[in-house]
Amino acid sequence: MTDPAPTARDAASVPVIVVGDAGPRDEGDDLLRGLNEPQRRAVTYRGPALLIVAGAGSGKTRVLTHRIALLLRNREAWPSQILAITFTNKAAGEMRERVGQLVGESARGMWISTFHSACVRILRREAEQFGFKNSFTIYDSGDSRALIKRLVKEHEADAFGLTPASVQSRISKLKNELADAESYARQANMNDPAERIFVELFGAYERALRKSNAFDFDDLIAQTVYLFRAFPHVADVYRRRFRHILVDEYQDTNHAQYSLIRELTRPVSGASSAEPYSSGGMMIFEPEPAAATDALEGASLTVVGDSDQSIYAFRGADIRNISEFERDFPGAEVVLLEQNYRSTQNILSAANAVIGNNFDRKDKKLWTDVGAGEQIVGFTGYSQHDEAQFVADEIDRLRRSGVGYSDIAVFYRTNSQSRALEEIFIRSAVPYKIMGGTKFYERAEIKDALAYLTAVANPADEMAVRRILNRPRRGIGDVTETAIARYADEQQITFRDALANASALAVGPKIQTAIAQLDAVLAEASELMLPASGEVAPASSVPEGLTLLLNKSGYLESLRRSKDPQDEARVENLDEFVAVAREFARNNPDGTILDFLTDVALVSDADDLDDGTGSVSLMTLHTAKGLEFDTVFITGVEEDLIPHRISAGEPGGPQEERRLFYVGITRARQRLYLSLAMTRAQFGEVSAAMPSRFLQEIPAELVNWRQSPGDVNGRGGTQSRALNARRPGGASGGFGGGNRYGDDLVPLGRSQRVTDPSRFPNRVTAKMRDNGDLQLAAGDRIRHDDFGEGRVDTVTGEGAKRIAHVRFDTAGAKKLLIKVAPITKL
DNA sequence: CCCTGACTCTTTTTT
DNA sequence: AGAGTCAGGG
């Protein structure tokens, strides 16, 4: 943690400034060039607190990096005195790089990281202060769900209507509010048996974590706050160190994160009554240990945010953190950035119109001087496959007109929507990359490998040891696992240590041997990765140890022998994981196994956005926050999806959904597509979808509906598009309708579009095809606009969701939603 | 202890 | 549709 003192090179690269000089220097001119007036003010203002209200695309990253660069270049701060908090590791990396480009070497030693990474660094240093070991491991949500699941089962809490998911989310919410089991119990209604059992679970969960020497995600923040409050002298070390704290995406901070910032920016009440260490912008050249007993004013705080982009209320983000910033930090300066440097005016107008429907917000209008740009393109498909095919075709068209794949992104509301897109993209040979979703690190084989590493790095982590106990199959089942746990309990040793005493367990000889082997493999790996006395293992021991574990445990062997075809892919995934470990060792020559595990635990969805491969990026609207692309497709713009059905019942839900849509729109630089489908399969059954209410909020003249919801009536949607991906010249098929809109979607004439009210997005909502309660029965003949004639086999489902299973004369068997399909009974 | 097949529940968003 | 869970038989 102690950063190297600035080198001679640093000193040479910056002009020497006289101590006591206040404010930015002329030397920063190039850092201010090209900035507009508010941006400039945001870069140069000096004071205890600064709030930068930064609309989407208003150059806030530029402002932040230049602000840091100016602080460094003017010698107002050492790199080590700067703490910058970003939302993702990727954003942190970018910021570090950009500051580096501005000021060179002197950028080293800054803390630029996420809340979670910063807290891990602090906790690793200080864990011993409060009963943890610095080898603690981090439970991701999957790990903690597994633990909670076990506890729920053990406490038979399901009888009280407590599911693992509900318990997990409640605990998470409470931790974000800085409550612990004890404080919560004091004000809980203990007459309610469900409440009592929840309190019990909460407490058991906390104890299990502590026993395992582990923190969950929420703990990383909450325990750091606890640490600072319980041990002021520890907090003072960090208060002295960080003199400039900058927080990005402040609108999405939760109470725990807010409290952490508050703690860090508190003044230090020195032990002696010496002169204040710093005042009025005085330069601070002293390294931190000096004058450690002096009083010190609070660190200077800069926060950047936009309440219109607050989309994480569901995980405890509190919009009040930003809206009441001025009250929290009296005398705070506020700077508004409204000029947008990202998008065309059409895109901004749509965004402004949409977000304007949220009441209870400060009016803020993004504007640009780059001109109107292209119209937004709208499209309605018959099914989600049809919609996906449109996206794929359009990407192909853009590609041929010179747009790179990596400049294109496709957004959706829920992860499950990616499936249809993927299917079509594969068939259409569109290279794509899914960010987040079923993550690499969530795959079972990767979690197993991680559990092996964890069992070595933190033997106290019982969950990890239990996980690998019978992976690969060793014949160790429930009974044996319980026997080990009981033995560990009796002997007052850890679960891991109990493995070393296999012979003492009342289990068969075969199983004893299996346990002893596992123990030996773990011991061998420990020796390699955690050499006993003082010496530090080289980073290369991480991939080596991993390989050893996977081989000698028999894990790889059993996968290779397996006849399950999926296991082949698992082996490949593990190979990739070993490659990741090698990469880590190469990038972090001093990295330990714990560093590796920490890195892996804290990667975020947006982090693996890679720049070089030239693929289209697929991601949820949430993941899209903070990113930008030339071309953006927002898909599934339907009621019940965006706004999501579940949001309707939550206070502030619909408004947050609107912000989410707004975030999506404002990611686009040049081109924006909004698409939806008339029917969508969900839970394995098809149902009718309605256009999102948000579409109506966009002024009609901004949108060019290639196919509006109204147009899908009776002639538009064809599954043929989706079913015949590559279809040169529309030669395939043989359907009655043929290729109505293949690769060359001809936009409707402008006058027609604007004057025909049926094409106004705000009229289309009601104009869906509706066959009413058209009755069909097995044996009926029907005609489909695209598939031609066919015979009904059966009818399933009820009401609006009745589905006809039809055997078409030429197009084969299809399932059709009777209510909306373009069909007539013959 | 392990495998199989029937059954159920899921889908909001994530560090 | 797909993943996770459970009961029953090997």
Q: What DSSP line would sit under A491-510, residue for residue?
A: HT--HHHHGGGGGGSSS-HH
More confident residue, A410 or A717: A410
Single out the catalytic residue among A41, A46, A61, A328: A61
Calculate helix-pair angle for A593-602, A566-587, nearest 10 degrees. Answer: 120
Rounded percentage of chain A residues whose pLDDT exceeds 70: 82
- Distance, CA of A160 to C1' of B9, in Å: 19
Average pLDDT (A484-510) is 87
Tokens 């469900």 locate to A194
Q: Which amino acid is at A357?
A: N
Query: How far, in Å, CA of A214 to CA of A127, rounded?
Result: 11
More confident residue, A608 or A279: A608
- Distance, CA of A802 to C1' of B7, in Å: 24
Single out the catalytic residue among A124, A570, A667, A706: A667
Average pLDDT (A329-338) is 90
pLDDT band at A438 (very low <50, low <70, confident <90, very high): low
Single out the catalytic residue among A218, A248, A657, A785: A248
User: Given a cut of 80, is residue A794 above it in pLDDT?
Assistant: no
Which nt sits closest to A815, CA to C1'? C1
Nearest residue to A218 via CA among A115, A91, A122: A115
In this structure, is the CB of residue A271 within 7 Å of any atom belonging to strand B? no
Single out the catalytic residue among A126, A140, A249, A639: A249
In this structure, is the CB of residue A684 within 7 Å of any atom belonging to strand B? yes
pLDDT band at A772 (very low <50, low <70, confident <90, very high): low
- Distance, CA of A426 to C1' of B8, in Å: 31
Distance of CA A632 to the CA centre of its chain: 18
Binding residue ranges of A for ATP: 54-61
- Least-confidence region, from A246-260, A365-379, A701-715: A701-715
Do β-strands A137-139 and A214-216 pair in parallel, antiparallel, or remain unpaired? parallel
Give, in order, the Cα–Cα distances in Å from A317 to each of A42, A253, A324. Answer: 24, 5, 14
Residue A535: the pLDDT is: 74
Q: Are A270 and A243 in contact (CB under 8 A)?
A: no
User: Given a cut of 50, is residue A496 above it in pLDDT?
Assistant: yes
User: Given a cut of 80, is residue A655 above it in pLDDT?
Assistant: yes
Single out the catalytic residue among A224, A253, A309, A719: A309
Do β-strands A788-796 and A803-808 pair in parallel, antiparallel, or remain unpaired? antiparallel
Indicate the SS3 state at residue A637.
coil
More confident residue, A404 or A650: A404
Residue A760: the pLDDT is: 37
In this structure, is the CB of residue A114 within 7 Å of any atom belonging to strand B? yes
Residue A778: the pLDDT is: 81
Which nt sits closest to A444, CA to C1'? C3
Which nt sits closest to A439, CA to C1'? B14
Cα radius of gyration (chain A): 30
In this structure, is the CB of residue A440 within 7 Å of any atom belonging to strand B? no
User: Given a cut of 90, is residue A544 above it in pLDDT?
Assistant: yes
Left (φ > 0), alpha (ψ -120 to 50) or beta: where does A626 sit?
left
Q: Which amino acid is at A741?
A: Y
Residues 6+ apart with CB under 8 A from A680: A383, A384, A636, A638, A641, A686, A687, A689
Strand B near-CB residues (< 7 Å), A 592-631:
602, 604-606, 619-620, 622-623
Which residues surround strand C, with CB < 7 Å? A 149, 681, 683-684
Query: How far, in Å, CA of A414 to CA of A521, rounded?
Result: 41
Do β-strands A300-305 and A244-247 pair in parallel, antiparallel, or remain unpaired? parallel
pLDDT band at A117 (very low <50, low <70, confident <90, very high): very high
- Distance, CA of A479 to C1' of C7, in Å: 18
- Distance, CA of A163 to C1' of B8, in Å: 15
Nucleotide B10's nearest residue (CA vs C1') is A683
pLDDT tens digits for range A516-526 = 999 999 999 99
Residue A465: the pLDDT is: 92
- Distance, CA of A247 to C1' of B5, in Å: 53
Left (φ > 0), alpha (ψ -120 to 50) or beta: where does A523 sit?
alpha
Query: How far, in Å, CA of A84 to CA of A65, rounded?
Result: 10
Residue A705 phi, psi (nearest 5) = -80, 105
**CB count in 10 Å sphere of residue A419:** 13
Strand B near-CB residues (< 7 Å), A 152-211:
165, 172
Give, in order, the Cα–Cα distances in Å from A643 to each of A347, A551, A816. Answer: 20, 49, 26
Chain B positions within 7 A of any protein Cβ atom are 1-3, 9-15
Distance of CA A428 to the CA centre of its chain: 28
Chain C positions within 7 A of any protein Cβ atom are 1-2, 5
Give, in order, the Cα–Cα distances in Å from A645 to each of A399, A637, A650. Answer: 35, 13, 10
Average pLDDT (A440-448) is 86
- Distance, CA of A682 to C1' of B8, in Å: 16
Would you report the helix, strand and coil content of chain A in percent, each value rounded to 5?
50, 15, 35
Give, in order, the Cα–Cα distances in Å from A515 to each of A446, A495, A526, A550. Answer: 22, 12, 17, 16
In this structure, is the CB of residue A217 within 7 Å of any atom belonging to strand B? yes
In this structure, is the CB of residue A142 within 7 Å of any atom belonging to strand B? no
Tokens 């996206």 locate to A391
Which nt sits closest to A605, CA to C1'? B14
In this structure, is the CB of residue A651 within 7 Å of any atom belonging to strand B? no
Give the CA dihedral A18, A21, A23, A24, nearest 10 degrees: -20
Single out the catalytic residue among A60, A96, A124, A753: A60
Query: How far, in Å, CA of A465 to CA of A443, rounded?
Result: 18
- Distance, CA of A628 to C1' of B3, in Å: 49
Q: How many residues does chain A have?
A: 826
Q: Are A283 and A76 in contact (CB under 8 A)?
A: yes
Query: How far, in Å, CA of A622 to CA of A626, rounded?
Result: 9
A61 labelled catalytic: yes
A309 labelled catalytic: yes
Query: How far, in Å, CA of A188 to CA of A669, rounded?
Result: 50
Residue A388: the pLDDT is: 93
Residue A374: the pLDDT is: 92
Q: What residues does A53 pair with on adjacent strands?
A: A305, A336
Rounded to two decimals, the pTM is 0.81
User: Given a cut of 60, is residue A743 above it in pLDDT?
Assistant: no
Which nt sits closest to A685, CA to C1'? C1
Average pLDDT (A81-88) is 92
- Distance, CA of A824 to C1' of B13, in Å: 40
Residue A117 phi, psi (nearest 5) = -65, -40
More confident residue, A750 or A219: A219
User: Given a cut of 80, is residue A291 above it in pLDDT?
Assistant: no
Residue A271: the pLDDT is: 57
- Distance, CA of A802 to C1' of C2, in Å: 22
Q: What residues does A676 pair with on adjacent strands?
A: A380
Average pLDDT (A535-555) is 89
Nucleotide C1's nearest residue (CA vs C1') is A684
- Least-confidence region, from A119-123, A369-373, A544-548, A740-744: A740-744
Give, in order, the Cα–Cα distances in Å from A753 to each of A273, A348, A760, A776. Answer: 76, 21, 8, 36
| Counts for chain A of helices (H) and strands (E), in that order | 33, 22
pLDDT band at A759 (very low <50, low <70, confident <90, very high): very low
Average pLDDT (A461-489) is 88
Binding residue ranges of A: 54-61
Average pLDDT (A795-821) is 70
A368 labelled catalytic: no
A667 labelled catalytic: yes
Residue A812: the pLDDT is: 67
Rounded percentage of chain A residues whose pLDDT exceeds 90: 41
Tokens 């075969």 locate to A510
Q: What residues does A151 pair with on adjacent strands?
A: none
Q: Which amino acid is at A576?
A: E
In this structure, is the CB of residue A5 within 7 Å of any atom belonging to strand B? no
Average pLDDT (A3-17) is 37
Task: Supply the DSSP symbol for A254.
Answer: B
Residue A23: the pLDDT is: 44
Average pLDDT (A755-778) is 51
pLDDT tens digits for range A657-696 = 999 999 999 999 999 999 999 999 888 788 888 899 999 9
Query: How far, in Å, CA of A806 to CA of A736, rounded?
Result: 15
Give, in order, the Cα–Cα distances in Å from A182 to each of A139, A188, A202. Answer: 21, 10, 9
- Distance, CA of A473 to C1' of B6, in Å: 24
Q: What residues does A109 pair with on adjacent strands?
A: none
Residue A278: the pLDDT is: 37
Nearest residue to A271 via CA among A251, A253, A293: A293
Which nt sits closest to A437, CA to C1'? B14
Do β-strands A781-784 and A788-796 pair in parallel, antiparallel, or remain unpaired? antiparallel
